[in-house]
């Protein structure tokens, strides 16, 4: 077991000190050390998107990001989205459109969608399909997720 190292993280607007194995990934740190269990582990190697978080505003797969490399960066998880208006619209649209079933992919999907809307506030259906192509949902068939993102973007009325 490697010696643990201290890391100063900035998560959802708060400074958080953690002591982690240098090989630990950010997903483990968020879930086990910080009690932020919104991001999920579906595959463990960056394919399913269930662990998507924001790092400096970009969607990043937390299972592939080393915790020690995140010092000083701004980390945002699904738990921290509540405060901004665009995120609130997205969350509301997911509820209204029925864009979730088991919900395991939902936190990652919403975070990825938040980053997509940041880059492209009015995405077309095609842009959403490709923009969220890295987030797997096994339940919904995706139709209502696309509808939710379009609704949140204001492209269609709820």
Partner 1 sequence: MSARRESTGGAPLGDAVGKPVPRLEAREKVAGRALYTDDLTRPGMLHAAQLGSPYPHARILSSDTAAAKALPGVRAVLTGRDFPRNYTGMFLMDQLPLAVDKVRYAGEPVAAVAADDLATAREALRLIDIEYEELEAVFDPVEALRPDAPAIHEDRGSYECHYELPPEPNAVCYSEFKEGDPQQAWARCDVVVENEYRLPAQYHMYLEPVSTLAEVDSNGKVTLWSSMQGVARVQMLTARALGLPMSKVRVIAPRVGGAFGGKCELTNQPVTAALAMAAGRPVKMTLSREDDMTMMKSRHAGTFRARTGAKKDGTLIARSVEFILDGGAYADESSAVSAVCAFFSRGPYVIPNMHVRSWSVYTNRLRAGAMRGFGNPQATFVSEAQLNELAAALDMDPLELRLKNALDEGDAWLGGRSVGVPSLKQCLQSVGKASDWRNRRKRRASAPGKRRGVGIAGFGHTSALLSAGAAVHLNEDGTVTVNTGAVDIGQGSDTALAQIAAGTLGLELDQVNYANPDTDSSPYNYQTAASRTTFMVGNAVARASAQVRDKLLEHAAAILESEVERLELRPGGSVGIRGISDEEIPFAAAAGHSLYVTGGPITGSSNWLYEPAEGIDPERTRTRGFVDVVAGSGVFCFGAQVVEVEVDEVTGKVEVLEVWSAHDVGRAINPDMVEGQLQGSVVQGLGYVLTEELVWDGGDLINPTMMDYKVPGMADVPHGIHAILLENPEPGAPFGARGVGEMALMGTAPAVTGAIAHATGARINRLPATPERVLRAMLERA
Residues near partner 1 (CB under 8 A) are 1, 21, 31, 36-45, 47-48, 50, 77-79, 82, 91, 94-96, 98, 100-107, 110, 125, 128-130, 132-146
The four Cα atoms 1, 37, 86, 50 give a dihedral, to 10 degrees, of 70
CB nearer to partner 1: pick between 18 and 146 = 146
User: Residue 74 pairs with which residues in a beta bridge?
Assistant: 10
DSSP code of 137?
-
Distance separating alpha carbons of residues 135 and 152, to the nearest angstrom: 18
CB nearer to partner 1: pick between 72 and 138 = 138
CB 22 within 8 A of CB 5: yes
Q: Considering the complex, what minimum distance in angstroms separates the CB of residue 146 from partner 1?
A: 5
Neighbours of 48 (CB within 10 A): 22
Q: Considering the complex, what minimum distance in angstroms separates the CB of residue 83 from partner 1?
A: 12
CB nearer to partner 1: pick between 37 and 120 = 37
CB nearer to partner 1: pick between 47 and 72 = 47
Q: Considering the complex, what minimum distance in angstroms separates the CB of residue 85 from partner 1?
A: 15
Q: Considering the complex, what minimum distance in angstroms separates the CB of residue 72 from partner 1?
A: 24
Q: Considering the complex, what minimum distance in angstroms separates the CB of residue 15 from partner 1?
A: 21
Distance separating alpha carbons of residues 33 and 147, to the nearest angstrom: 35
CB nearer to partner 1: pick between 9 and 105 = 105
10 Å CB burial of residue 41 (0-12, 13-18, 19+) is middle
């Amino acid at each position: 077991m490697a010696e643990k190292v201290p890391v100063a993280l900035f998560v959802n607007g708060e400074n958080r000190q953690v002591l982690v194995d240098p090989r630990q990934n950010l997903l483990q740190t968020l879930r086990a050390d910080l009690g932020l269990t919104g991001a999920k582990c579906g595959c463990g190697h960056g394919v399913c998107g269930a662990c998507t978080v924001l790092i400096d505003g970009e969607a990043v797969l937390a299972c592939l990001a080393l915790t020690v490399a995140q010092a000083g960066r701004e980390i945002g998880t699904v738990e921290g989205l509540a405060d901004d208006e665009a995120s609130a619209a997205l969350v509301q649209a997911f509820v209204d459109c029925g864009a979730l079933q088991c919900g395991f992919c939902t936190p990652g999907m919403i975070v990825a969608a938040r980053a997509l809307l940041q880059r492209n506030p009015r995405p077309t259906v095609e842009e959403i399909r490709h923009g969220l192509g890295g987030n797997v949902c096994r339940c919904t068939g995706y139709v209502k997720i696309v509808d939710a993102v379009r609704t949140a973007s204001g492209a269609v009325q709820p």
